Structure formats: structure tokens, C-alpha cells
Structure 1
Amino acid sequence: MMLKEQIAEDMKTAMRAKDAPRLEAIRMLRAAIQRREVDERVSLDDGGVLAVLEKLVRQGQESIQQFSGAGRTDLVEKEMAALAVWSAYRPAPLSASEIEDLIQEAMVHTKASSIKDMGRVVAHIKSRVQGRADMAAVSARIKERLS
């Protein structure tokens, strides 16, 4: 079953169960997916849905930091509940050793030897770790290894 279909089924289940917080989080995710599909005039595959999901998760984490700083515990709890729902759709994260192995393999494949080659290494890795690792952290590791 494709990820979009799974999200639609979960939305129906949340409606039947009258689970309002879960339903709200799933509706927010579906709206973001539909917005991107309309904007780009495409039908997203699982990779595109994961990209939308990652963006929502990142925005949610930033919102939690801002709400915490402002002392809005009610909004923090709401965002954390949405993040918990969204995390169920994310693939299992890669371990640090798996990330290191991917970086090593990409450096060998692209014949990277200096920081100038970082773009090629990141491009080689990006499709393999999408949704399974934070690309900012992966890029930092690549930069550290190439410096």
C-alpha cells in the first residue's frame, strides 16, 4: 500500500474513532501533500510524500522550540501530539554507523577528495537517506570528513 493510501485509511479510522487530535494531524499532513501536488501539478509518490512529511516535522520541531520559549505549554503539547502521529509514517532512522558507511561509499563512488566535492557526495547520498536521517547532520559529517 502506498503511503498516501495509508494516510487516507488512517484518516478514516481516526474519524470513526472520533480521535480529534490524530484526525487534525492527519488532515494537516494530507493538506500539505495536496497543496504540493496542486502547486507542482504532479501526483506525489512515496518519496515526494516523505519530503512533505519531513518538512512538516521540521516545522513542528521549530514551533515546539518557539512555543517553549514563549511558555505556551498548551501549544507545545499540541505540536508534540502531531509529531507523534507523523512519526508513524516515517521509515526507521539510520544508525550512525549506517550513515558513516553511506558517506564512505559515496566518497569512493564520487572520488571525493576535498570540500569542493561535497555537492556530489550529498547528491549521491540524499536519495538513499531521505526520511531516514537529518540531511543537515549528514552534510555536517560529510563536510567534517572532507575538510
Structure 2
Amino acid sequence: MSLLQQLTADMVTAMKERDKETLNVVRMLKAAVQNEQIELGHDLNSDEEVAVMAREYKQRKESLAEFENAGRDDLVEQAKKELTIVEKYMPQQLSKDDVEKIVSEVIDTLGVDSMKGFGQVMGAVMPKVKGQADGKLVNQVVKEQLSK
């Protein structure tokens, strides 16, 4: 079942259950996927679907941080609920340990031993963890390992 079919089925379920919050989030996700299809001019493959979901997840995570900094508790709760709904459609996220293993393997493979090779390491790691790890986490792990 494609992501678009899954979103449509979940939208119907949310309508039947009269779950307005879930319905609104699923509608936004479905619209994002359809907009991406229109923009690219073809049905999305799994990598493109993951990229759309990762973008939507990141937007909500950034909104959550901004709401928390502004002290908007009412919006914080809503953003947390939206994040949990979006997480259902994301692939399983890698743990920090998994990211550290991948980064160390890439560093060993490339033979990088200083911060000068930071961009090179990031360029090699990000495609491997696309949609499975947050860029900030990868950035942090690469900096930690290169500064040793």
C-alpha cells in the first residue's frame, strides 16, 4: 500500500470516528504528498515519500520548539499531538548509537581525522540515514567524533 493510499484510508477512518485533529493532520500530509507529485510530475517512490514526511515532521518539530520558547502551552499540546500523528508515517528512527556507528564507519572509510573533512563526512552520511535520523543529531555526532 502506497503512502497516499494509507493516508486516504486513515482519513476515512478519522472521518468515521469524528476525530477532527487526526483528520486535519492527515489531510495536510496527503496534500503535501499530492503537491510533491504534481511538482515532480510522477507518482512518488518510497524515498520521495519519506522525504515529504521528514519535511512535514521537521516543520512540526520546529514549530513545537518555537511555541515552547514563546510559552504558548495551548499550541505546544497541539503541536505534540500533530507530531505523534506524523510519526506514524515515518520510518523507524535510528538511535544515537546507530548513528554513531554509521558515522565512525564513514570516517574510517574516508580516512578523515580532523574537522576539515566535516563536509565530506556529512555528505557521505546523510544519504545513508535519510529519513531515519535528524540532521541535527548527525551533525552533532560527526562533530563529536571528528573533535576527538
Give the shorter-chain TM-score range. Answer: 0.7 to 0.9
TM-score (norm 2): 0.84
User: In structure 1, what is the Cα distance between the partners aligned to 2:101 and 2:69?
Assistant: 37
**Residue 134 in structure 1 maps to residue 143 in structure 2:** no
User: In structure 1, what is the Cα distance between the partners aligned to 2:60 and 2:81?
Assistant: 10
RMSD: 2.0
User: In structure 2, what is the Cα distance between the partners aligned to 1:105 and 1:142?
Assistant: 11
Closer, same or farther in 2 for the Cα pair 1:97/1:62, shift >3 Å?
closer
Q: Is the 8 A contact 2:60 2:83 kept in 1?
A: yes
> Helix, strand or coil: the match of 1:90?
coil
Q: Is the 8 A contact 1:4 1:46 kept in 2?
A: no
User: In structure 2, what is the Cα distance between the partners aligned to 1:71 and 1:98?
Assistant: 34
**Residue 119 in structure 1 maps to residue 119 in structure 2:** yes
Letter in 2 for 1:15: M
User: In structure 1, what is the Cα distance between the partners aligned to 2:66 and 2:96?
Assistant: 28
| 1:140 shift after superposition | 2.1
Which consecutive unaligned segments of at least 5 residues does structure 1 have?
none
Which consecutive unaligned segments of at least 5 residues does structure 2 have?
none
Mapping 1:25-64, distance limit 5 Å: 25-64=25-64
| 1:67 shift after superposition | 2.6
User: In structure 2, what is the Cα distance between the partners aligned to 1:96 and 1:67?
Assistant: 26
User: Structure 1 residue runs of 4+, over 6 Å off?
Assistant: none
Counterpart residue number, 1:8: 8
User: In structure 1, what is the Cα distance between the partners aligned to 2:71 and 2:143?
Assistant: 36
| 1:87 shift after superposition | 0.8
Cα offsets for 1:20-58 (capped at 9, x unmatched): 110100111111222222233343222222222222222
Letter in 1 for 2:53: L
Cα offsets for 1:50-88 (capped at 9, x unmatched): 222222222212222333344433322222211111011
User: In structure 2, what is the Cα distance between the partners aligned to 1:28 and 1:123?
Assistant: 31
